[in-house]
């Protein structure tokens, strides 16, 4: 408690993570002020701050100066160009992410999962396995699109010392960590993503690598042996600390309670394709570290329902399957999800390309799709790239509503319709979850359905 008492702290951002950080600091007798460039009417979480008497400065980027302050806690959405970073540097004030704060107040050990793709499913699966083992576990962190979302800080305040904090952590959050040290760190893969924020793949990869930076010989790292990005990190000395357990789809065996299990052959209905096997292997490695039995692991795989908006089965009508994969926001995720999609498939893709990856998106679509319906800001650019490849079975329809409407004209029995954007959502939606929820609703409206499959 005394670590923060009397400290002057600026929390940047009045979103979910900022409110959690500010509230936790105020409870520890810090003198907290919150800054957010949005007006109060656009900050749905701000009432919680006002109820605690925490000052909030809206429509304001930052204080004029940070002289006299002790700490800045930043929102994961703050870009490197935000003035708070120059102010903190000038005043010599440390900058933390919310997960750094959560780590420092946690009594329970942390299992932290990061990666370009698969981290949400892997996080939820590890949490599910722990529950199957009878362990107390708190699902938390950057995980989005689920009920009862909670930040690492919120979970850290609630969790008993004998519980586990199972946290998805992003590159944005890891970038501003200093002491953050998970007991078990998992990296699913490191591909091209968020280059608009980090500036280069190397900077992005090094941010991800910070999940390993403070591990000791008593800690574990679970790493993807097949992934060139993970190997790049390890070869540069970022995977030396702690004990390393590698997983590989080329040799999908994990020793669990003395049994060498072939994870590829285990019944796991919610884990599709190569990417589903990668997620299952990562989770199985964690399970083996935690002392899970083979029976508990089999039960957990069989009962796992998957993560919303990640290869989520919406329903089947007239012999046509509909899949919501709104979380697919980059070229690698698009390729992996289409590999796992039953064929023939019609794909709804497009949005905001954040990685200059339009040629790769077009190649995956041309390789796997019977027909492509394109939406969003960069949908026409993807269409142009498809045309350049000689692929002509596409249509730019601009909106998701029109794309769903068009599918009813194009589909035939045996087809799969999948929302796999390969792009970010913020041109037309609040976030990827909003996009996925709208897709579900539109599909059911088209089929005049109350949610039951036919």
pLDDT in tens, 295-345: 999 999 999 998 889 889 999 999 999 999 999 999 988 998 999 899 999
CATH code for the domain of 419:
3.90.190.20
Q: Which of 103-112, 153-162, 192-201, 202-211 has the lowest mean pLDDT?
A: 192-201
Alpha-carbon Rg for the chain, nearest whole angstrom, is 22
Question: Are both 176 and 288 inside the same structural domain?
Answer: yes
Q: Above pLDDT 90, what percent of the chain?
A: 85
pLDDT of 453 reads 46
pLDDT in tens, 110-126: 999 999 999 999 999 99
Mean pLDDT for the chain overall: 93
Question: Are both 249 and 321 inside the same structural domain?
Answer: no
Q: Is residue 453 part of a domain?
A: no
pLDDT of 292 reads 98
CA distance 291 to 300: 14
Distance (Å) of CA 169 to CA 158, 188, 249: 19, 12, 23
Q: Above pLDDT 70, what percent of the chain?
A: 97
Tell me the two tokens of residue 87: 């102010």
User: Is beta strand 416-419 parallel, antiparallel or unpaired with respect to 320-324?
Assistant: parallel
Q: Is residue 126 part of a domain?
A: yes
Q: How many domains does the chain have?
A: 3
Residue 355: pLDDT band by 50, 70, 90 thresholds? confident
**For residue 131, what are the domain limits?**
100-303
Summarize the confidence of residues 139-161 as an average pLDDT.
90
Question: Are both 429 and 358 inside the same structural domain?
Answer: yes
CA distance 144 to 157: 20
Question: Are both 24 and 148 inside the same structural domain?
Answer: no
Question: Are both 87 and 105 inside the same structural domain?
Answer: no
Q: Is residue 297 part of a domain?
A: yes
CATH code for the domain of 26:
3.40.50.720
Kindly report the three-state secondary structure assignment for every residue of 17-39. HHHHHHHHHHHCCCEEEEEECCC
DSSP string, 389-450: TT---EEEEESHHHHHHHHHHH--TT-EEEE---SB-TTTSSSHHHHHHHHHHHHHHHTT-S
Question: Are both 217 and 362 inside the same structural domain?
Answer: no
Q: Is residue 451 part of a domain?
A: no
Question: Are both 78 and 146 inside the same structural domain?
Answer: no
Q: Indicate the burial class of 51 (C-beta count within 10 angstroms; 0-12, 13-18, 19 or more).
A: exposed
**Domain stops at, among 249, 270, 303:** 303
Question: Are both 250 and 336 inside the same structural domain?
Answer: no
Question: Are both 295 and 320 inside the same structural domain?
Answer: no
CA distance 67 to 70: 9
Question: Are both 258 and 320 inside the same structural domain?
Answer: no
Question: Are both 295 and 370 inside the same structural domain?
Answer: no
Say whether pLDDT at 450 is over 80: no
pLDDT of 2 reads 76
Q: Is residue 32 part of a domain?
A: yes
């Amino acid at each position: 408690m005394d670590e923060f008492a009397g400290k002057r702290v600026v929390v940047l951002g009045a979103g979910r993570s900022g409110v959690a950080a500010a509230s936790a600091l105020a409870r520890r007798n810090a003198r907290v002020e919150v800054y957010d460039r949005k007006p109060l009417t656009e900050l749905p979480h701000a009432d919680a701050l006002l109820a605690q008497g925490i000052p909030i400065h809206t429509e304001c980027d930052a204080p004029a100066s940070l002289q006299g302050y002790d700490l800045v806690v930043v929102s994961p959405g703050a870009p490197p160009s935000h003035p708070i970073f120059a102010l903190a540097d000038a005043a010599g004030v440390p900058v933390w992410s919310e997960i750094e704060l959560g780590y420092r107040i946690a009594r329970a050990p942390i299992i932290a999962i990061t990666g370009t793709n698969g981290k949400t499913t892997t996080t939820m699966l590890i949490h599910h396995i722990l529950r199957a083992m009878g362990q107390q576990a708190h699902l938390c962190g950057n995980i989005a699109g689920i009920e009862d979302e909670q930040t690492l800080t919120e979970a850290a305040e609630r969790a008993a010392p004998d519980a586990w904090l199972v946290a998805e952590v992003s590159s944005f959050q890891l970038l501003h960590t200093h002491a953050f040290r998970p007991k078990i760190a998992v990296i699913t893969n490191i591909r091209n993503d968020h280059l608009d924020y980090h500036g280069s793949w190397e900077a992005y990869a090094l941010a991800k690598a910070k999940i390993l930076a403070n591990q000791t010989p008593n800690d574990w790292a679970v790493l993807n042996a097949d992934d060139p990005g993970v190997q790049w990190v390890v070869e540069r000395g970022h995977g030396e600390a702690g004990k390393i357990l590698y997983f590989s789809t080329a040799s999908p065996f994990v020793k669990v309670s003395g049994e060498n299990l072939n994870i590829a052959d285990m019944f796991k209905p919610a884990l599709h394709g190569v990417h589903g096997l990668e997620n299952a292997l990562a989770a199985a490695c964690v399970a083996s570290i935690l002392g899970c039995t083979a029976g508990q692991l089999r039960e957990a795989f069989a009962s796992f329902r998957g993560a919303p908006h990640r290869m989520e089965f919406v329903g089947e009508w007239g012999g046509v399957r509909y899949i919501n994969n709104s979380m697919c926001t980059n070229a690698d995720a698009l390729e992996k999800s289409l590999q796992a999609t039953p064929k023939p498939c019609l794909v709804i893709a497009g949005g905001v390309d954040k990685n200059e990856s339009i040629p790769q998106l077009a190649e995956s679509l041309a390789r796997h799709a019977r027909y492509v319906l394109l939406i969003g800001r960069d949908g026409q650019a993807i269409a142009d790239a498809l045309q350049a490849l000689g692929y002509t079975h596409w249509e730019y329809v601009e909106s998701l509503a029109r794309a769903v409407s068009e599918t009813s004209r194009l589909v035939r029995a045996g087809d799969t319709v999948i929302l796999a954007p390969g792009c970010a959502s913020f041109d037309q939606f609040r976030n990827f979850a909003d996009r996925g929820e709208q897709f579900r609703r539109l599909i059911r409206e088209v089929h005049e359905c109350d949610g039951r499959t036919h």
